[in-house]
Amino acid sequence: MDEIMKMLGNIQGDILKQKQDMKEMEQNIKDSINRNIDDKFNRIEAKTKELECKIEQQQKTIEYLDKQLRKRNLVFFGVEEKEKSYEDLCFIILDIINNKMEINCTQWEIETVIRVGKKAGKLRPIVVTLTTTGRKIEILKKKKSLENTCMYIKEDYPVNVLQKRKELQETLKLEREAGNLVALRYDKIVTLKKQPEIHSKSTGKKTNKRLMSTSPETATTAANPSNIREGAKQVQKKNKIQTATISSFLRPSQLKPVTHGTMHETEEQQKN
């Protein structure tokens, strides 16, 4: 009987030990699985961040390229759709620039012209790409010449920039009402520097014109009267050199008048 009880006790001990081993094994398996999952998750997270950085860089590159492509673009609004071909549309734009805006522009200064949007019973805008940025700036400076017409000109911006500019209009209005000198540049509001006011000596009125700068040479000449006299002498010398005739460079014998007699005597001497 004692032996049976001892055997049962051993069996129970073995069972308890197996249970403990199984629990430890289960915990080890869980830990191993969790570590594998964490490693995979960390790798996926790192890869995701890397892809996000690449996408962000590519997005910036796309925006930069889009900005560069639109850099020489202008959008004409309110132009009647009476063209029948690309050449007609190009000539219409040239007529507006040359005649209405009085800017001398040739056909070779326009790269492309195209109407954008679908025909929906209203005038579609025209995107004009110029060959130089300088010509674009010149046209923008004279866009007010179209104020008395139904046409107007704007710069070409991407959709996201247009939305941003629309959102900033209210802020821009409030800043100007507050007396701040601000302007909308691309998709940001910038503060402009105020030009110093200068009082005119003759009228006593304020003017924003810049004072004429004097060079060091002018200042030195004004300070030293002797320099003025020396300068006058140098001018006189230059005038003397300029008024010299060709006779000053000839020998005295070459200045004697030649007669027919002397010419014959010279010929006879040459024969002898």
* SS3 category, 55: helix
Closest CA to 78 of 126, 118, 120: 126
Q: What is the pLDDT of residue 212?
A: 52
Residue 90 confidence (pLDDT): 94
What pLDDT does 199 receive? 52
- For 190, the enclosing helix (H) or strand (E) is strand 188-191
C-beta separation of 70 from 158 below 8 A: yes
On whether the CB atoms of residues 143 and 153 are closer than 8 A, the answer is: yes
**Dist CA 180 CA 5 (whole Å):** 100
Q: Which pLDDT belongs to residue 260?
A: 45
Closest CA to 129 of 188, 101, 89: 89
Q: One digit per residue, pLDDT tens: the chain, 272 residues?
A: 677 777 777 787 778 888 888 888 888 888 889 889 999 999 999 999 999 999 999 999 998 999 888 999 999 999 999 899 999 999 999 999 999 999 999 999 999 999 998 887 789 999 999 999 999 999 999 999 998 889 999 998 888 888 888 888 888 888 888 888 888 878 788 888 776 655 555 555 555 555 555 454 444 444 454 554 555 455 454 444 444 444 554 555 544 444 444 444 444 444 44
Q: What are phi and psi of 112, to 5 degrees?
A: -145, 150
Q: What is the predicted pLDDT for the residue at 222? A: 44
